[in-house]
Chains A and B, each alone.
Chain A
Amino acid sequence: MKKLFAFVLTIGLGVLMIFSLRANTLFPEFGDVSIADRISALFLDKSVNGDNGDVVFGQTTDAEDGAANLVTSIVVDYRSFDTLGEVTVLFISSLGVALLLGVAGKQKRLALNFKPNFMLRVGSRALFGIILMTGVYVILHGHLTPGGGFPGGAMIASSILLLYLADDEFRTKVKGFKVLESVAGSLYVIVGLLGLVLATYFLQNFLPTGTVGDLFSAGVLPIVYVLIGLKVGSEISGIIDHFLTEGDLA
């Protein structure tokens, strides 16, 4: 009965959606939106604070936002406050994992149901470095190419996960991750506060934005992305460690 009710409710909601959006003059067909009369048009042109003309890769200098990657310019510059919020979402999730799964006292690894051999251990160490460096590359080039702090941080964490899976003795220093997580998060807020002090507004860019497309460009964006990468990497690694360890009763 309960399942039938849920089914009817779901169908009802679907029908409501179709009927209220179909032939709704306000709701545009897919692909019909004219970007010119949306506020996002000015994000694309980097012209929120006055018209800056065409943005040319490798030539435009000192634009209001120096990121060549449009997604980054929105995520870490125009809507950086939301990103600070998302970082906090991950932070509190990892706090929650630590609260629920963390054990005081001695801890040991959960046993794997196979014995990792020598080749697996050595091979994964070699891969670890490559994945880690790819993660660092993705983070550092977040303002130029697709990627950035979140995927890069996840890559770093995946390299740690590889070590955990390939070696049943392996443990990282969780305390170190905690310090890194705390410092990176605090520095993000402090970058924001520096914007308030050195410029006028919270999270405002207070460094020169350089030439669009250069590695050293876009002001505080790469710095923020490095902090996000470190924070995401250390948080997810910490979560992995909590999931793969248990209290040692012996």
Chain B
Amino acid sequence: MSAVLLIAIPLLVAFVSILSKKLAPWLLLATPIANLVLLFLVPTGIVVIGGFQPPFGISLLLDTYSFIALFAVNALVFVIGLLNVKEYHQFSSILLVALAGLNGLILTNDLFNLFVFLEIAGIAAYLIAASNKKPASVFHYLVLGAVGSSFYLFGLIILYAMFGTLNMVDMIEKINAATVSASALILPFFLMFVGLGVEAKLLPFNSWVKGVLGSSNTMSGPMFASVYAVTVSFVFGRLLNNLFAFQGNLLVVVVAILLLGIALGEAMAFSSKKAREILLYSSIAQASVVILLFVNGLVLWGALLAVANAVSKFVLFYVVTKAQKEVGCDDLDSLQGMFQGNYVVGVAFSVAALSVIGIPLFAGFVLKLGYLTELAANANWLAIAVILVASLVEGIYYVRMLVKLWYPGEKEVKVSFGNVATVVIALAAALLLVFGVYRGPIDNLDNTIDSVSEVIDLG
């Protein structure tokens, strides 16, 4: 048993799945389940591939950090597959390749291998976005995504020219050993930050998000807003925490980009009247918050916030895209009163929204309290101020949205969600409630969930 199976199995199944259109959807559902079981069986630590010990060859790293991300990604892909398997059955093979790519992104301990998986996951993402039937916006995304990954690659090439290694742990060791001023490394780190920033929806690089998520459907919406978002956050977090040594001017620029992202994201969400746009701008702001936590070294809180956001955004996006499909429009006015007769879905949606705002009793509150306390301990008052004001704005537009969706308008809006979807959404919301009250698992974890520095210490 080896963690490489988490990548190899979806890949093998994807290759096989193109032979039978009938079997492919079943394979899509079985594979994430198999991965979830495997995840608990495989040992943690460095996984060597090809028999060449690191820093030679390619290796993977499975620790608590990647375990959390893998669990979230595989579970979410299963759920999204389950809810869309009938309508989007021709996307089964693509989702399987995407799963392999995302698992690879999370697991890999090699910076070039990371680029390869970024390509796989990226191309899969363009195809998933193609299900929106808005070719121009997908093309826009394709161009931005390709330029972004080239930036990452370019930064990596410079690092490779400097240190002659691609293994992440080895690279970090060599950077630590090289006694040079941080300014010598500004360019590669900045290029890699920009490259990943495109996928992570950070502010100046995220012009694709509106076109793709603004016209998303029940498959592409949750895939981008939860699965891709959580993966990219974790990958970004790993690099930010261990590799990128942001200091001086570069740190100021990065923090400014992130704070601006939070502020503008919430402002745009506030001024929007379309349900999907509100959610997508809110995800842009949340993505910036997560990255900001990673930049400040709050690994645990960043990771948990990314997972909590993934669960909430899955519920929010699925409900809104489903309603949009049935009503044909996602203006809040035309969806008015859609929760009348859909009480379970309505409650679950409200739980997810309130958790994103950070109301007590929901998971979002525990997290917000946690990371604000840590930021206060670091005397990071500017970040706290921006996050608090952002939460207030967030609270206003989410509550406005909830009121709209609960209270019936002049026209009766009928949306049927089906039993499976209702149960799944209710379970996801229940998770947010449980972790809003019971914080045992969180207390047992700390920043050491990311074990790269331990691996380096051990040599």
Q: Which residues of A contact B (CB under 8 A)?
A: 16-17, 20-21, 24-28, 33, 37-40, 42-43, 48-49, 77-82, 84-86, 88-89, 91-93, 95-96, 99-100, 178-179, 181-182, 185-186, 189-190, 192-193, 195-196, 199-205
Contact = CB atoms under 8 A, between A and B. Distances in A.
Contacts of A196: 2, 4
Dominant secondary structure of chain B at its interface with chain A:
helix
B69 interface: no
Given A86-B116, A202-B50, A205-B51, 11 more contacts: A26-B180, A39-B165, A78-B50, A79-B58, A80-B50, A95-B93, A99-B91, A99-B127, A182-B18, A186-B12, A193-B8
21 contacts: A20-B184, A33-B161, A39-B56, A39-B165, A48-B56, A78-B52, A79-B58, A79-B112, A81-B49, A88-B100, A89-B123, A91-B97, A92-B94, A92-B120, A96-B123, A99-B127, A178-B18, A182-B15, A201-B49, A202-B47, A203-B49
B16 A186 contact: yes
Nearest to A181: B18
Contacts of B170: 39
Contacts of B126: 96
Contacts of A200: 51
B19 interface: yes
A85 B117 contact: yes
B101 A88 contact: yes
Interface residues of B, number: 56
Contacts of B94: 92, 95-96, 99
B112 A100 contact: no
Contacts of B185: 26
Interface of B: 2, 4, 8, 11-12, 14-16, 18-19, 47-53, 55-58, 90-91, 93-94, 97, 100-101, 104, 112-113, 116-117, 119-120, 123-124, 126-127, 130, 158, 161-165, 167, 170, 178, 180, 183-187, 190
B21 to A, nearest CB: 11
Given A27-B161, A39-B56, A79-B57, A16 B187 contact: yes
Contacts of B124: 92
List of 7 A-B pairs having minimum Cβ-Cβ separation, nearest first: A185-B15, A38-B164, A85-B116, A204-B51, A20-B187, A189-B12, A202-B4
Contacts of B14: 88, 91
Contacts of A16: 187, 190
Contacts of B12: 186, 189-190, 193
B38 to A, nearest CB: 13
B15 A186 contact: yes
A33 B164 CA distance: 9
